[in-house]
Amino acid sequence: MAVESNERTSPIRYEADESPPRALSFGLGLQLAILCIAGIVLTPAIVIRAAGGSEAYLSWALFAAVAVSGVTTILQAVRVGRIGAGYVLMMGTSGAFIAICVTALAEGGPAMLATLVVISSLFQFALSNRLSLLRRILTPTVAGTVIMLIAVTVMPIVFDMLTEVPEGSPAPGAALSALATIVAIVAIGLKATGTLRLWAPVIGIVAGTVVASFFGLYNTVQVAEAAWVGIPSIAWPGFDLSFGPTFWALLPAFVFVTLVGAIETIGDSVAIQRVSWRRDRAVDFRTVQGAVAADGVGNLLSGLAGTVPNTTYSSSVSVTELTGVAARSVGVAAGAVFLVMAFLPKVLALILAIPGPVAAAYITVLIAMLFVVGMRIVIQDGIDHRNALIAGVSFWIGAGLQSGVIFPEYFSAFAGGLLQNGMTGGGLIAILLTLFVELTEPRRRRIEVEFDTSALPTIREFLAKFASAGGWDAAMAHRLDAASEETLLTLLNQDQSGGDSPKRRLLVVAHKHAGEAILDFVAAPGTANLEDRIALLSEQAATTSIEREVSLRLLRHLASSVRHQQYHDTDIVTIRVTPPGAVPAG
C-alpha cells in the first residue's frame, strides 16, 4: 500500500501550529534570513548589470526585492484566506528568471520588465485556482526538463561575469577569487554535516571576497558611502503599456518561466509539509494552492515595484528538517528581518559590492544544484521509454536553440525570437510531446453521476463494462465494484461530516495501465484526507464510527494504492486495483 504510515526518524520539536519561545523563533528566523539574503540581492544585481541598467535603478530594485521577499515570507507563514501555505517557506528572487529578465531589460527597459512581470503573475493566480486541471500536462517530466534547461539559459550570462573586474586589476585576481569561492562551498558541502553544511554558500562568498580584496576587487568605497538607515532615491520605472512587438515576443517566455517558478513552489510546499509534523501526513494540495497563490502575490508586488520576480527557497525545508522547528512564527520572524534589512542600505551594499567573479562562482554552484534537482524530478517520475524520449529530446533541442545552432535562419525570427530562449523552446517541446502522449492514449472511460449512494448501481454497471473491455474476469469486476463502493461511501461520510453543503456531482474516470485498473473519483472537497484516515486506522477505533472504520479497512485491502489529492475546488481520489493473484505494478 502506498499509504502506510512511517514514523519520522528526525524528531520535530515544534510543529507548524505550535508556539516556541520568542527568542528561539527570532534566532531561527534571523539564521534563515542571513542564509537567503545573498541570493535575494545578487540575482537582481546580476540581471541589471548584465543588461546595462543604471545604478539608481539597481539600488531601487534591490530595496524593492528585499521588501517584497519580507512581505511574502510573512504571508506564506500566516496564510490569509486561500493565500499562503501556512508553513515556513522563505521567499526570494528567482534565478530561473535571470536570462529572460536580462533580455526584457536590454530590449525594452525597466518599464517593459515591470509590465511583463505583472501580467505573467496573473497566470500564477489562475494556476493556483485550477491546479487540479493541469496535473496531466505539467508532469514531473516536463517540470524537471525545464528546470534543467534553466542552467542552459543562465550559465552563459554567469560565465561572462567571471571576468568582470575593474580595468587594470591584477590578472590572477578574478580566477583566484572565483576558485576560492567554489572550493569553499564544494568542500563544505561534501564533507560537513548539520548546521555547517547549510552555511556553505555564505562561507564560500566570504572566502572569495577576502581573496578578491587582496587584489583590490572589493569595492569598499561603495560600502563606506552607503547610509546605515534609509531608502534609496525612488527610481520606480512605471509601466510600458505600448504592447508592441517586444512585449508580445517576450510574454510567452515570461508566462512559461512563471509556470516553472510555480512548479518549484509546488515542490517546496510539498516538501515543507513532509518535515513539519511529528507523524507523516498526506500532502494537502489546498496548502500547495495557497503557496502558489502567495508566490503569485510576490510576483505581482515585484512587478508593481519594478523589480525581478520571486519564488520560494528550498533552504527553508532543509533548516526546518535540521532544527526540528517548523513553527509559523519562524517564518514571520524571517520576513520581519528581511523588511528591516531593506531599510539598511549598508547591509545591502556589503552584498552588492561582492566582486563579479565571486558572485559568478556562487551562482554557478546554485545553478549546478538546480540542474541536478531537475534530473531528480525526472527520475522520480519513472524513466520509461516515453519519459526518456520527452526529457532527452526536449533538453537537447532547447540547448541547441539557446546556442543558435538549430536552423537559425528560421527560428531566430520565429514569433519575435521566442525560440531563441532554450528554456522556452525546450519547454514547449516537452509540453507538446506530453500532450501528444496524452491525446493518443486509449480513451479513458468516464461517467458523471450524482454524488450520492443512489449512483452505486450506475457506477457498478459502468465498471462491469470497463472490466469486460479490459479482458478481466468476474473476480476482478467484483473487486472493482467493491473498491469503488467503499471509496464513494467514505467520501460521502467525509463530506457529510463537514456540515451542510450543496448537492455535488461525481465524475468517475477509469483506465487500464500496466495490467492494473486505475480509477479516479473527482468530487466535492471534504474535511479530511483518506490517506491519513487509512494510515491511522489503528488510532481511530475510539473516535471513528464502526461503519467508517470497516469501510476504510476494506478499501485498504481492495486497492493496491490510494492517493487523495485535496484542492479548494476539487477532491481527487485515485485508486489502483490489481487483479486477484497478480503482483502490483512496481
Residue 203 domain flag = no
Q: Which candidate, 224, 273, 256, 234, places its Cα nearest to that of 143?
A: 256
Give residue 9's pLDDT: 45
Is 463 in the same domain as 432? no
Inside any domain, residue 502: yes
- Asked which of 438, 463, 478 is the last residue of a domain, the reply is 438
Low-confidence ranges of the chain (pLDDT < 70): 1-11, 132-135, 194-195, 198, 282-283, 315, 318, 322-323, 380-382, 412-418, 494-503, 524-557, 569, 581-586
Asked whether residue 387 falls in the same domain as residue 265, the answer is yes
Q: Do residue 427 and residue 310 come from a single domain?
A: yes
Q: Please give the pLDDT value at position 361.
A: 87
Specify whether 460 is located in the same domain as 425: no
In which element (H, E) is residue 470 found? Answer: none
Q: Are residues 277 and 404 in the same domain?
A: yes
In a domain, 221, yes or no: no
Q: Judge if 567 and 472 occupy the same domain.
A: yes
Same domain, 410 and 549: no
Which of 396, 423, 438 is a domain's end point?
A: 438
Q: Are 394 and 537 found together in one domain?
A: no
**In 3-state terms, what secondary structure has residue 480?**
helix
User: Looking at residue 194, what is its pLDDT?
Assistant: 65
Domain count, the chain: 2
Task: Among 375, 408, 438, identify where a domain stops.
Answer: 438
333 & 420 share domain: yes
Spell out the SS3 assignment of 490-501.
HHHHHHHHCCCC
28 & 48 share domain: yes
Read off the pLDDT of residues 60-108 as tens digits, 9 standing for 90 and up. 999 999 999 999 999 999 988 889 988 988 898 887 788 788 889 988 8
Distance between CA atoms of residues 42 and 36, nearest Å = 10
Instruction: Please check whether residue 451 lies inside any domain of the structure.
Output: yes
165 within domain boundaries: no
The answer to the question of residue 370 being in a domain is no
Place of cell 520576513: 335
Does residue 71 belong to any structural domain of this protein?
A: yes
406 and 552 both lie in a single domain:
no
Domain boundaries, position 404: 22-156+246-352+383-438
- CATH at 466: 3.30.565.10
In a domain, 196, yes or no: no
pLDDT tens per residue, range 473-493:
888 888 888 888 888 887 777
413 and 455 fall within a common domain: no
In angstroms, the CA 264 to CA 471 distance is 41
> Which strands make up the sheet holding 445-450, listed edge to edge?
445-450, 505-513, 516-523, 571-577, 561-566
